[in-house]
Amino acid sequence: MPRFCANLTTLFTEAPLLDRPALAAEAGFEAVEILFPYDVDAKALGRALAQADLPLALINCPPPNYADPAGPRGFAAVPVEQERFRHALRRSLRYVDALGAERLHIMAGLAEGPEAAGVFAENLAWAAEMAEGRQLTIEPINPHDMPGYFLDDFSVALALLEETAAPNLGLQFDAYHAHRITGDVAGTWAAVAPHVRHVQVAGAPGRHEPLAGEIDYPSFFSQLDADGYTGWVSAEYHPRRKTQDGLDWLTYY
């Protein structure tokens, strides 16, 4: 069975961030991820995680002001933002080390074309070298939810991983995004599974609880088990109501 992880950026938002690790542990999650922990004191957050006895599975390389709808969605593939990306990567690695985060997701940003592809590959190679001893991921994000995001195709992601050939760089597989990109979660997983280092889930449509809907999660989780996936499966969804009122799916699986 999957090892479930709670995304504390989208779950338990009824409480302050520093209170959410304890709520996640009480609910039965075995780890947490936080998209952008950079506005919280790292020492205080580390204490909250330690008190809840939960590892931090993943954080994102930070686009500042992500909550702003007009703000950047990362900038690792944006040609004019290489220095900004490298500054952000160094900052992220400090948080990775301070919090013991297991993985760092590198966000590509809004860009297109061959120049963006070259910049992204160059930045990923540089990041992998800078992050020696730490684990990085890249994630295809569907163009319906995030129009213009550079990495919106799994074949492009695989090509980047092959070109970079860095042992500490892998794929982040979000089943919700896979469904919206390809319409075939099971087939997409089968094509990319050897490269996957982290999994995220949400229901479709609506990106709510991963229970009923267009994605057959019982079958998907069985597929993960059959393929020997032992990493985290993170609940990155938007609860329909209060988080605790929608956690029946966690005991269902």
Which residue numbers in the chain have pLDDT < 50?
Answer: none
Task: Write the pLDDT tens digit of every residue in 239-248.
Answer: 999 999 999 9
pLDDT at 67: 62
Task: Write the pLDDT tens digit of every residue in 181-205.
Answer: 999 999 999 999 999 999 999 999 9
Distance of CA 248 to the CA centre of its chain: 23
Secondary structure (DSSP) of 45-66:
HHHHHHHHT--EEEEEPPPTTT
Q: Active-site residue numbers?
A: 139, 236
Nearest Cα to 140, choosing from 91, 195, 95, 212?
195
Question: CA dist 77 to 81, 130, 135, 142, Å?
Answer: 8, 17, 19, 16
Helix (H) or strand (E) holding 218: helix 217-226
pLDDT at 1: 81
DSSP state, residue 198: E
CB 92, CB 62: distance < 8 Å: yes
CB 249, CB 211: distance < 8 Å: yes
CB 70, CB 42: distance < 8 Å: no
pLDDT at 70: 66
pLDDT at 66: 64
For residue 26, give both structure tokens: 């009480």
Helix (H) or strand (E) holding 27: helix 20-27
pLDDT at 151: 98
For residue 242, give both structure tokens: 């209060």
Nearest Cα to 104, choosing from 82, 72, 133, 143?
133
Task: Write the pLDDT tens digit of every residue in 108-146.
Answer: 999 999 999 999 999 999 999 999 999 999 999 999 999
CB 205, CB 215: distance < 8 Å: no
CB 111, CB 73: distance < 8 Å: no
pLDDT at 212: 83
Helix (H) or strand (E) holding 173: strand 169-174
The pTM of this model reads 0.96
Domains (ranges, CATH) in the chain?
Answer: 3-252 (3.20.20.150)
Question: CA dist 224 to 54, 57, 158, 197, Å?
Answer: 22, 18, 19, 12
